[in-house]
Amino acid sequence: MKRFLALIIVFLLTQTITFAQCAMCRASVGSNLSEGRGVIGTGINDGILLMLVFTYLSIPTLIFVWFRAAKKEMRLKMSQQ
């Protein structure tokens, strides 16, 4: 359980650093689209969406693994009694 909490804390602390890049990506996309280079802007937008999807999929996955481990631990304690 301590490892899980440490992993969550590290995840939350490193996520702050990645949020700083979003404004830079948006500025880059805006300048490329205004200059008529839409291919680069589309690629960067796809990359941002990919990062978004992995973030929103990782959180439910971690919650599922945590509940499954807690359920398994509860069954083990019940069988030992």
Domain boundary assignment for the chain? 2-80
Q: For the segment 7-19, what is each residue's pLDDT rounded down to a tens digit?
A: 888 877 776 555 5
Please give the structure tokens belonging to residue 23: 């404004």
Structure token digits, residue 25 = 């990506």
Q: Which of 43, 70, 77, 58 is nearest to 11 (CA)?
A: 58
Whole-model pTM above 0.85?
A: no
**Model confidence pLDDT, tens digit, residues 32-78:** 767 666 566 667 777 778 888 888 889 889 999 999 999 999 888 88
